[in-house]
Amino acid sequence: MNRLDGHRILVTGAASGIGQATVLRLLAEGAAVVGADIAPDGLEKTRLKAQEAGADARLTALLMDVGDESSVVDGVKSALKTLDGLDSVVNAAGILRAAHTHEMSLAAWNQILTVNLTGTFLVVREALPALLRNSRSAIVNFSSTSATFAHPYMAAYAASKGGIQAMTHALALEYGRQGLRAVCVAPGSIKSGITDTTGGYLPSDSDWSLFGRLTPILPTSLEASGAGMADPSVVAGVVAMLVSDDGAFISGTEIRIDGGTHA
C-alpha cells in the first residue's frame, strides 16, 4: 500500500524542476494531484512523464498564475472540485531575478515578492477552508537557503523566501490545534528551472568568488549555470514524507536540503 493512497494534493510550480519532480513523486506514492502552473507546455511535459509512469489518470493539469489573485481564486476552486476536497498543498511556484541591489528596480522587486511571497499567501488563503475540514492536513511551502544564508545579488529573492518562512511559522501556530501542519523546505544547490536560468540574470560584472561558499559538500552529478547541483527528486522525496503520516509530528519548522552547503 502506498503511503499517499487517497490523498488529494495541490502542487504549484508543477511544470518544471522541483515542482514537477514533486508531482511525479506524489503520484508514485498513490496521491491524486492537481498540478498548477502558468506554463502550459511545461504542464504537458509533466503529464507525459506521469503517463510514462502509468499515473496520469490521477493527475489534472491546471493553468494558474499564483501572482494573480483572481487566477488563484478560480484555480483553487477548480482544484477542489476536481479532487472533491483537499488534504495537502505544496507551494513550489517561484521565480528568481538577480541584480545589484542598488540597481534593482521597484518593478523587479515587486514582481519577485508578488510571485513568491504573495502567491504563496494567496494559495494558502484559498485552500485553508478545505484543509481545515480535515482533522489532519498539511501545507508545505518553499523557502530557500537564501532566507538564512547570504546569497549575493538576490536580496529580493531572499526577502521573499524569508517572508515565506516567517509566514509558515505563523500558520503552524494559528491552525495547529485544528490539525493543520505547516512546514517549509529550504532547498539549495538543486537543479531546477530557476537555477538553469539564473546565470543569464546575474549582473555581467558579478564577483563569482562570492559563490564559492555556496558549494555542497556532498557529491553531485548535475550541472546548472556551471555549478554542481542535485536532482530535484531529492527534494520531492522530503515533500512526500512531509505530507504523509510519516511527517505527522513535524510543523512550524524548516528542513534544509542543500547537500551540506551550509553545514
Catalytic positions are: 157
How many angstroms from the chain centroid is the CA of residue 182?
Answer: 13
Cell numbers for 129, please give them.
477552508
* E-strand stretches of the chain: 8-12, 32-37, 59-63, 88-91, 137-142, 180-187, 222-224, 227-229, 254-257
**Does residue 186 contact residue 253 with C-beta atoms inside 8 Å?**
no
**Does residue 144 contact residue 256 with C-beta atoms inside 8 Å?**
no
Contacts for 81 with CB less than 8 Å, ≥ 6 apart? none
Beta strands 222-224 and 227-229: pairing type? antiparallel
Phi, psi torsion values for 169, nearest 5 degrees: -60, -45
On the CB side of 149, CA atoms within 13 Å amount to: 17
Phi, psi torsion values for 61, nearest 5 degrees: -85, 140
Cell numbers for 202, please give them.
546575474
Cα 217 from Cα 258, distance rounded (Å): 9
Cα 258 from Cα 230, distance rounded (Å): 8
